[in-house]
Amino acid sequence: MEYVIADIRISLPEELIPRRFAEALRPFAVAEPIGRARSAGPEVAPRECKGVMPELIPGAVTRIHPAPGWQELHRFEFPDAGADCRFGRDNAGFLLEMVPRDGTPAARFRTSETGDRTSCDFSIHHHPALFRFGVWMLFNLAALRRNAIAIHASAIRYRDAGLLFLGESGTGKSTHSRLWCRHIPGTSLLNDDSPILGLTEGAVRVWGSPWSGKVPCYRNESAPVAAIVRLVQAPGNRIRQLSPIEALGALLPSVPPAFIRDTELRESICETLMQMIGQVPVFRLECRPDADAARLVCDTVFGRPTSGECPQAANPSAIHTPQP
């Protein structure tokens, strides 16, 4: 099956896609796969894409050891599947290995150094969450080559503009999005965990994705980004715009942590983020979990309303000029 996510076309083996992930992917399915007859279950019409992630090929994947040139970049837990993970690179490219603690075989996902080949040895006997996460990692590697990356954030769409709320787990990203949806008319949730932030035709956009954490929000929509907001819990509500260096520091903790440990990937991420920061304001919001915090952001980004409703921006991507 073929899908378009953030204008990047990907192809996945239908027989391996777990049921719940298939439901999340459905809004992103293409109507007419490349080089094939028209499919019977279209949701997305064919359109120009800014990139393609090579078809994911199931089959044997080289083990980490002994892999020539292996360099482990990140070791972490994946609680959703009860697995211990390792991400790194070797002479053949990048490799993600996920080892379930229940003794079942490891699942591995690989992409070549040039990004022209992807493969996995996932099977229907593995925990389904391993496939969802492995595809997320491969997609991010492909997206980064096209100035796009998944951000750990909650993203809303306010009329024709996108806003992203960042923060450590438990700081209230989802709560802040709910406050907007409840108290500011014209707001809808775009993605609650892993929206895609990218540059396209010189503008910064945010896309929905089939990865949305605990809230099942899988919208094949996008919007120009009006602002990015880093949330910090506090006894009162206060907002300020960050300098470019502060903004980079606010964004970096929300990109895939495994990528930051690789010099090449980190440089690519920083270059992409700095281009975005040059166009979109980044704020620090110290706040309580209340409606006034949402209204404060709306007033700051879009201009103080003359009535009880936040106004619509005429040009969301050019509302604020970042401070020097």
Least confident of 15-19, 62-66, 99-103, 175-179: 62-66
What is the average per-residue pLDDT within 224-247?
96
Burial label, 98 (beta-carbon count in 10 A; 0-12, 13-18, 19+):
buried
Contact 193, 156 (CB under 8 A): no
Between CA 252 and CA 260, with CA 255 as vertex, the angle to 5 degrees is 70
The 10s digit of each residue's pLDDT in 275-321 is 999 999 999 999 999 999 999 999 999 986 534 456 554 333 333 33
Mean pLDDT on 79-107 = 93
pLDDT the model gives residue 50: 65
Whether 36 has a pLDDT exceeding 70, the answer reads no
> Which has more pLDDT, 41 or 262?
262
Distance, CA of 177 to CA of 172 (rounded, Å): 9
pLDDT of residue 324 exceeding 50: no
> What average pLDDT does this structure show over 248-268?
95
Number of Cβ within 10 Å of residue 290's Cβ equals: 14
Over the chain, what is the mean pLDDT? 87
Task: Judge whether residue 35 has pLDDT over 70.
Answer: no
**Helix 291-302 vs helix 173-183: crossing angle, to nearest 10:** 80
Return the minimum-mean-pLDDT range out of 63-77, 78-92, 93-107, 240-254: 63-77
Shortest CA distance to 78 belongs to which of 57, 100, 53? 100
**Residue-level length of the chain:** 324
Checking if the pLDDT of 214 tops 90, the result is no
What is residue 31's predicted lDDT score, i.e. its pLDDT?
74
Mean pLDDT over 52-65 rounds to 79
Q: Which residue has the higher pLDDT, 76 or 53?
A: 76
Is residue 154 pLDDT above 90, yes or no? yes
Tokens 């809230």 correspond to what residue?
215
Least confident of 98-102, 110-114, 229-233: 110-114
- Region 44-69: mean pLDDT is 71
Residue found under tokens 């506090």: 234
**Could you give all domains of the chain from N- to C-terminal order, each with its CATH number?**
2-146 (no CATH), 149-318 (3.90.228.20)
d(CA 252, CA 161): 23
118-120/56-58 β-pairing? parallel
